[in-house]
Structure 1
Amino acid sequence: MKKIILLALFSGALFCAKAQNKIDPNTIKDKMQWFADAKLGIFIHTGIYSVNGIGESWSFHNKLISHPDYMKQVKGFTLKNYDPAYWADLVQESGARYSVITTKHHDGVAMYDTKMNNLSSVKATPAKRDMVKPFFEELRKRNIKTGAYFSLIDWTNKDYPGFLKDSSRYKIANDYGRWNKFRSFFQGQIKEISEKFNPDLWWFDGDWEHSAEEWESQKVRQIMLARNPNTIINGRLQGYGDYDTPEQNFPVKRPTFKWWELCMTINDNWGYQPQDQNWKTPYEVITIFVDAVSNGGNLLLDIGPKEDGSIPEQEVHILKELGAWNKRNGEGIFNTVAGIDLGHFYGPTTLSKDSTTLYLFVYGKATGPLLLKGLDNKIESITTVGTGVALTHKVVGKISWSPVPGLVYIDLPESALDQYVTVLKVKLDKPIKLYTGQGGLQ
């Protein structure tokens, strides 16, 4: 994953500006609908770095380990306990609608049977297995969308210029033929993945090292769309993607991007690192997830399997708890749209697509009365989504001669609270109408 110091909260501002000039929004609106409805994806960082439990690719880049010692890990990558059906079951149980797996990280080791070289889990490791093919097959059996992570960077490939433009091998301007050779290589791998697996989604990484012209981003995009016109592409293709992917850092203000996804680890690292025990709690993951959805985005939550293909028990626990919460409260999450502005309710919200149902999310053990401001609608009913408990409410301060709506106080008893986040369903008489004025005489 991208860990350079100059990591902006959103690289997408540049992405959006470029994309508007190069991609017709009308051509991607329909195919993006499943993504907009999906809300939750599971990211899987799997590779030889799990053998020693060190940073994926960046550990040798940052000189924490030599490149030869890093690459020796191929000898310990066994996948002896890899069960793609179990992985897919766990993704499904979490409530996720899509999953993205690393087909190749910056270290250049492919997790599928590439024909472009011999550096793969099939040819270079004792596992001798293609990880991607059986996992995609199991996902599709469960009607879960498939995503392929692919690093444009390949720091092991002898025809790649070097690390972060240091030109340790050569400068592109001095040897364009060698750069063309590398471009043929990585584009050949993209063609392989397209033809072998036909991903619903492409998740690129590493585009910051070169320009769109150097990567031939437009050509790369067309390679994928030629195979599958409905595939969607993340925003790390130098302006030729369909949606933005802020990493780890959560937006404070609602993003202006039409489609976006927060990619975030379940502890502090992307791949398996046994020394990292800073696990996010189920409560923390659920509240982050709710916040993303309420702001019109998705959460792509990452897990890092061990070298034998097993998944750490802490990750299994968190995914199961997330899934149980989704099973209780998913009505307020899936197939909804971003909610109302924060000033109307001091917490996350979503809306049904017809805007006649407002969902309010209450974190932790907060009880009523809860305050809802500026609602210019008649409330038909308020219930808890998880249990169906009917709640009472009171309108305060509504003056007969003023168009300004009163304040709605909702009584939420402790007995109706969810273990993590309680979801209230506010059924309205018509599509939501909000007062946004300054009060006083109108």
Structure 2
Amino acid sequence: MRKIVSLLLAGILVSSAYSQDLNKQSKNRMEWFGNAKLGIFIHWGIYAVNGIDESWSFFNDYISYDDYMKQLDGFTADNYNADEWAHLIAQSGAKYAVLTSKHHDGVALWDTKCGDLNVVEQTPAGKDLVAPYVKALRKNNLKVGLYYSLLDWSHPDYPNKTRKIKRYDADSLRWSRFVDFNFCQLEELSTRYKPDLFWFDGDWEQSADKWKAQELSEALRGWNKNVILNSRIQGYGDYATPEQGLPVTQPNDTYWELCMTMNDSWGFQHNDDNYKTPNQVIRILIDCINKGGNLLLDIGPKADGTIPEEQKHILKELGRWTGKHAEAIYETQAGIPYEHYYGPTALNKKGDILYLFVPHTPNGPLMIKGLKNKINRMWVVGNGTKLNWEVKMKQYWSAVPGIVYIDVPEKVLDEQVTVIAVLLDGKVDLYREQGQVIESN
């Protein structure tokens, strides 16, 4: 009996050690992502020819499938310069990028051998568009992400609405062929380009079992042990991906990323001029940082491979701001609750520098409430100007901290968002109790 118990205990210890090792590996694998804060999404495909919704335009019957696919003839990529893309992405302050290697329309941007629907064989572009992108990103020390649609509304074996194929049982031979097709393409992408990240989409149409999601995630990490997977693989990903809507409260996920367009469209659309201003984009980025997440900001190149000037302008001004305030952006963690400061905040890794984001010209001093720490120093990030502060309402008999008042001279304000660094005497310590009544005076 003792021998059995000993063996069981030994098994539990081995299992626990294995679990801890997996958690450590996952943390190491995700470290760069957690530190990055900003990435660039790139929606590029044949849909840029007519400037219409990527894939959804035929799925939602705005255009026929056949008319949609006629765009293959106009996709030239004549002016595609991956080095210029990568330079602009790096200039923006982004640390990674994600390119749509294949959207729901099934058109692959590389010379896949798993099928013939790709830009090399079917469009005037006539070349692999993924390889130069990967090479240029690596040259600029950017992490490489590839978007891949699990569903495929063009594949003859996928049970899709658009090609009038009736839905069939997932155990059928046709479904097995389609799953093999996905594995085939993803093995190509994994072994050829060794991406740091896969950004999956389209998983909602089938279950994890049908996609063979667990088997696929294991295969992907077999081909590249450090690859990161987003959440859209039916529960087998590493981080959450809220879309377009900025989370109002901090997500429960350890790692998350808001994917968001610059205007109202993912891909290039001639008539969509409803661009966000650089100030709006910067403030959305700040909100993501404040809640411990990343922003994946989208651009949509034209069919010839050029990036619209409006998008370049936003990226360049974003880059000016991120370059100036780098210390308050990268390798930071979520800030303090809004009850303590009227605005977004962030903390450095050690938790002893509090960054205050100031999106408006202050009408009077800034306020920090409930800060137990002593403040050692305070300065304007990217400017270096030291700031003065004073503490009021601190009663000697009360444990409730006083209110910190900070005057910010107008001459140090950034044209977009100003950042103030507050160096504390230790890890940030906040008063969260209910206050006290007078017991001595």
Length-normalised TM-score, structure 2: 0.93
Query: Following superposition of structure 1 onto structure 2, how do residues 273-292 of structure 1 map, counting pairs within 5 Å?
Result: 273-292=269-288
Q: 1:336 aligns with which of 321, 332, 336?
A: 332
Contact conserved, 2:170 with 2:210, CA < 8 A, in 1?
no
Shift of 1:391: 1.3
Identify which range, 208-217 or 432-441, moves more after superposition: 432-441
Q: Distance in 1 between matches of 2:191 and 2:360?
A: 47
> How many pairs align?
419
| Partner secondary structure for residue 32 of structure 1 | helix
Match of residue 5 from structure 2: none
Partner of residue 315 from structure 2, selected from 291, 295, 319: 319
Q: Tell me the CA shift for residue 75 of structure 1.
A: 0.4
Q: Are 1:207 and 2:200 an aligned pair? A: no
Farther-moved stretch of structure 1 (411-420 vs 198-207): 411-420
Q: Deviation digits for residues 5-34 of structure 1, max 9, x if unmatched?
A: xxxxxxxxxxxxxxxx9x954441111010
Q: C-alpha distance in 2, partners of 1:194/1:61?
A: 29
Letter of the structure 1 residue corresponding to residue 112 of structure 2: T
Alignment partner of 1:38 is 2:36: yes
Distance 2:26 2:406 in 1: 40
Q: Which amino acid aligns with 2:224?
A: N
Q: Secondary structure at the match of 2:314?
A: helix
Q: Deviations over 1:333-369 (max 9, x none)?
A: 1111111111111111111111110000010323540
Contact 1:386/1:422 (8 A) holds in 2: no
**Helix, strand or coil for the counterpart of 2:296?**
strand
* SS class of match (1:222): helix
Matched with 2:133 is 135
Tell me if 1:112 matches 2:95. Answer: no
1:301 paired with 2:277, answer: no
Correspondence 1:370 to 2:366:
yes
Could you report, residue by residue, the CA deviation over 1:140-174 in whole angstroms, capped at 9, with x for unpaired residues? 011100001000010011110013xx994133328
Residue 70 of structure 2 is aligned with which of 56, 69, 72?
72
Indicate if the aligned counterparts of 1:367 and 1:413 stay in contact, CA closer than 8 A.
no
Q: Quick one: distance in 1 between partners of 2:163 and 2:23?
A: 37
SS at match of 1:194: helix
Amino acid at match of 1:437: E
**Worse-superposed segment, 248-257 or 170-179:** 170-179
Contact 1:367 1:412 in 2 (8 A): no
**3-state SS in 1 of match to 2:147:** strand
Aligned partner (choices 354, 357, 360) of residue 358 of structure 1 = 354
SS at match of 1:31: helix
1:129 corresponds to which letter in structure 2? K
Q: Which residues of 2 match residues 122-271 of structure 1 at below 5 A?
A: 122-163=120-161, 168-173=164-169, 176-271=172-267
Q: CA deviation at 1:256?
A: 0.9
The separation in 1 between residues aligned to 2:381 and 2:263, in whole angstroms, is 29
User: Could you tell me which of 34, 42, 51 is aligned with 1:53?
Assistant: 51
Residue in 1 that maps onto 2:99: 101
Mapped partners of 1:174, 1:300: distance in 2 = 33
* Counterpart-to-counterpart distance in 1, 2:364 and 2:35: 30
Within 2, Cα distance between the matches of 1:361 and 1:195? Answer: 42
Question: How far apart, in 1, do the equivalents of 2:335 and 2:41 lie?
Answer: 26
Q: Which residue of 2 aligns with 1:7?
A: none
Where does structure 2 lack aligned partners over 5 or more consecutive residues? 1-18
Checking the alignment, whether the CA contact within 8 Å between 1:367 and 1:414 is kept in structure 2 is no
Gapped regions of structure 1 (runs ≥ 5):
1-20
**What CA deviation, in whole Å up to 9, does each residue of 1:44-81 have, x standing for no partner?**
00000000000000000011110000001000000110
Cα distance in 2 between the residues matched to 1:366 and 1:25: 44
Which stretch has the larger CA shift, 37-46 or 173-182? Answer: 173-182
SS of 2:323's partner is helix
Mapped to 1, the partners of 2:93 and 2:170 lie a distance apart of 51
Q: TM-score, normalised by structure 1?
A: 0.93
SS of match in other structure, 1:123: helix
> Residues 266 and 300 of structure 2 are in contact (CA less than 8 Å); yes or no, is this contact kept in structure 1?
yes
Query: Per-residue CA shift, 1:176-233, capped at 9, x if unaligned?
Result: 1111011111111011100111110000000000000000001110121001111100
Alignment RMSD = 1.5
Inter-partner Cα distance in structure 2 for 1:75 and 1:167: 20
The residue number in structure 2 matching 1:14 is none
Using the alignment, how far apart are the partners of 1:392 and 1:174 within structure 2? 67
Looking at structure 2, the residues matched to 268 and 177 of structure 1 have their Cα atoms a distance apart, in angstroms, of 40
Alpha carbons of structure 1 residues 301 and 67: separation in structure 2 relative to 1, 3 Å: same
Matched residue type, 1:330: A
Write the distance in 2 (CA, Å) between the matches of 1:189 and 1:366.
Answer: 54
SS of 2:316's partner is helix
Task: Determine if contact 1:78/1:307 at 8 Å carries over to the other structure.
Answer: yes
Paired residues of 1:378 and 1:428 also in contact (CA < 8 A): yes
Q: 1:294 is matched by which residue type in structure 2?
A: N
Report the identity percentage: 52
Q: State the distance in 1 between where 2:94 and 2:194 align.
A: 20
Structure 2 counterpart of 1:200, one-letter code: D
CA contact (8 A) 2:153 2:163 kept: no
* Bigger Rg over Cα: 2
Residue of 384, 402, 413 corresponding to 2:380: 384
1:439 counterpart letter in structure 2? G
Q: Give me the whole-angstrom Cα distance separating, in 2, the residues matched to 1:160 and 1:215.
A: 12
Q: Is contact 1:217-1:237 (8 Å) kept?
A: yes
> In structure 2, what is the equivalent of residue 16 of structure 1?
none
Structure 2 CA distance for aligned equivalents of residues 173 and 75 of structure 1: 35
Contact 2:169–2:175 under 8 Å retained in 1: no
